[in-house]
């Protein structure tokens, strides 16, 4: 039910480093949202064509969607921790990372032939 989608223009890392980043982010999102990791999905789209601040240096845009309600304090902490992890894992300065947080209605989130509503 939590979904972290990552789009980056950073050069793709080798497969072991990508796998480690995805695994690390999955565990991190599960822990920070107090959700079972078995429901967490992480998606990484590398080689995205991006411009940030008018330039073409590597950047990252991520979306974290969650069934339920994220509080402002949770969002602030999530932003801090996820920016650190994405910066470290992708080699992108934190000031070149945007993250959008979305609360999703469980009835509008499908899974396994049903919804979380």
Q: What is the pLDDT of residues 45-65, one digit of tens each?
A: 988 999 999 999 999 999 999
- Alpha-helix residue ranges (DSSP H) falling in the chain: 15-33, 72-90
How many C-beta neighbours within 10 Å does residue 13 have?
Answer: 16
Give residue 117's pLDDT band: very low, low, confident or very high (50, 70, 90). Answer: confident
Q: Which architecture does CATH list for 3-115? A: 2-Layer Sandwich (3.30)
Catalytic residue among 2, 11, 36, 93: 2
- Compute the distance between CA of residue 77 and CA of residue 81 in angstroms, rounded to an integer: 6
Give residue 40's pLDDT band: very low, low, confident or very high (50, 70, 90). Answer: very high
**CB-based burial of residue 30 (10 Å sphere; 0-12 exposed, 13-18 middle, 19+ buried)?**
middle
Annotated catalytic residue 36: no
CB-CB contact of 61 with 96 (8 Å): no
Nearest of 4, 5, 16, 10 to residue 90 by alpha carbon: 10
Per-residue DSSP letter, 73: H
Q: What is the pTM of this model?
A: 0.93
């Amino acid at each position: 039910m939590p979904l972290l989608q990552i789009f980056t223009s950073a050069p793709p890392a080798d497969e072991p480093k990508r796998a480690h980043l995805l695994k690390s982010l999955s565990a991190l999102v599960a822990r920070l949202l107090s959700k079972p990791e078995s429901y967490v999905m992480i998606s990484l789209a590398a080689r995205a064509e991006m411009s940030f601040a008018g330039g073409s240096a590597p950047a990252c845009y991520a979306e974290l969607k969650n069934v339920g309600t994220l509080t402002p304090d949770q969002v602030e902490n999530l932003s801090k921790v996820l920016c650190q992890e994405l910066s470290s894992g992708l080699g992108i300065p934190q000031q070149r990372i945007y993250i959008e947080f979305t609360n999703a209605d469980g009835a509008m989130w499908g899974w396994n032939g049903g919804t979380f509503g």
